[in-house]
Structure 1
Amino acid sequence: MIKRSIHHVCIQTERYEESLRFYTEIMGFEIVNETAGFHGRAYNTWIKLEDFMIELQTPKNGDKLNEWSNKNAGIVHMCFMVKDVEAEFKRIKSLGYNDFKIKNSEELYKVEGSYLFKVKAPEGTEIEFRDIEI
């Protein structure tokens, strides 16, 4: 199999409206397709940022989702590269979003010589921002 690129990640949320607002208004994704009543779910929505997509969906009717934890196996966070991490940090704060991960009492902190920050999306997904390649 030839691997070309990642197509999408799927995120389940019991806070659908808040998560959709976060990804569209704060992160800049655009809605590609929103389907109500999708296979036992209230919503299944495709959102896109450049070539990357998220399939945002509510749990199946009657299901209760577990809270996010960095102790779960599998993906712990996803990271977006930005042109200027400090400018992106200020932009998100200026939009009134304040659910940042704190490390050493700081929201914007240095790791291995460069700054980064992390936010927690309404459904619990941890999202990292950096401007330097590893």
Structure 2
Amino acid sequence: MNYLLKNVHHIAIICSDYAKSKQFYTEILGLEIIREVYRQKRGSYKLDLALNGQYIIELFSFPDPPKRLSRPEATGLRHLAFSVDNLEAVLAVMEKHKVSYEPIRTDEFTGKRFTFISDPDGLPIEFYER
């Protein structure tokens, strides 16, 4: 079958506190900065981030962005999920940075373990053990 779509190019996230979100995604989650641009006309930063050399996230700041519902289960993007090799090792890093996480659960269909944290704006982020 010939698919038109090849892969996910990127995920765009709008944050309310650029410095706090930049620190979270780079220093805590360990994403690599590809490019950082301040767009004067928009009063907005745009930060391109990569995971393992693959471009995946655009982090934007805008003056006074409106809040978006995330919980309980609002329509739209549910969460951002990262696959991990060792859930305990990832959670140890989260604890070091005082990032709280939900109790570890097991996917009833795959038997794989996972948990959730939240970014500085409350976006749910899942760590799913491979």
| Map of 1:46 onto structure 2 | 48
* CA distance in structure 2 between the partners assigned to 1:10 and 1:47 by the alignment: 10
Question: Percent identity, aligned pairs only?
Answer: 27
**AA paired with 2:126?**
E
| Map of 2:104 onto structure 1 | 108
Cα deviations across residues 61-80 of structure 1 (Å, max 9, x unaligned)?
A: 4x432144233221110111
2:58 to 49, 55, 59: 55
Gaps of 5+ in 1: none
Gaps of 5+ in 2: none
- 1:131 deviates by 1.2
Q: 1:2 to 1:131 in 2, by over 3 A?
A: same
With structure 1 as the length reference, what TM-score do the two structures score? 0.80
SS across alignment from 2:88: helix
Give yes or no for the alignment of 1:128 onto 2:120: no
* CA distance in structure 1 between the partners assigned to 2:44 and 2:26 by the alignment: 19
| Map of 1:66 onto structure 2 | 67
- 1:86 deviates by 1.8
Is residue 94–residue 100 contact of structure 2 (8 Å, CA) maintained in 1?
no
SS across alignment from 1:33: strand
* CA distance in structure 1 between the partners assigned to 2:48 and 2:40 by the alignment: 12
With structure 2 as the length reference, what TM-score do the two structures score? 0.82
What is the number of equivalent residue pairs in this alignment?
A: 124
**AA paired with 1:28?**
G
SS across alignment from 1:91: helix
| Map of 1:76 onto structure 2 | 78
Off by >4 Å, runs of 4+ in structure 1: none
Is residue 67–residue 124 contact of structure 1 (8 Å, CA) maintained in 2?
no
SS across alignment from 2:76: coil
Cα deviations across residues 64-99 of structure 1 (Å, max 9, x unaligned)?
A: 3214423322111011111111221122212x2323
Greater shift in the superposed pair: 111-120 or 78-87: 111-120
